[in-house]
Amino acid sequence: MKYFSVAEARAKFATLLDLSTNTDERVVITRNGAPTAIMLNIDEYESMVELIEIMSDVDSYVALLEDRANPDAETFSSEQVLEELEARVRREAAAKAQALRKFSNEA
């Protein structure tokens, strides 16, 4: 990680953007010496968000831990896992929409 003050970051913004976009380098922006923001490439950000989503879904996280504990178990590609997570999100969204419609009709 590289640290830059707000003033430095403002003066070198394009360079820092290139640094975080084209490398795995994280850029930390400080204000009064304290870290206040971070710049990282979009792929790394999306991976972090995806990991948070997986870990936030208790069932998926438990299944992931169980699978790691049993290396001989059936394996799935990352595409298969992502498809299953997306399907689960769609099912949950549909269930919420249905409950909202039911609530709206009762009101």
- pTM value surpassing 0.95: no
- Per residue in 20-61, pLDDT (tens digit) is 988 888 999 999 999 999 999 998 899 889 888 877 888 877
Distance CA 38, CA 15 (A): 15
The burial class, CB within 10 Å (0-12 / 13-18 / 19+), for 81 is middle
Q: When comparing pLDDT for 89 and 7, which is higher?
A: 7
- Per residue in 2-25, pLDDT (tens digit) is 999 999 999 999 999 999 988 888
Q: What residues form DSSP beta bridges with 29?
A: 4, 37
The DSSP H or E segment spanning 39 is: strand 34-39
> Could you state, in order of their start, the residue ranges of all structural domains in the chain?
2-40, 44-106
Please tell me the CATH code under which domain 2-40 is placed.
Answer: 3.40.1620.10
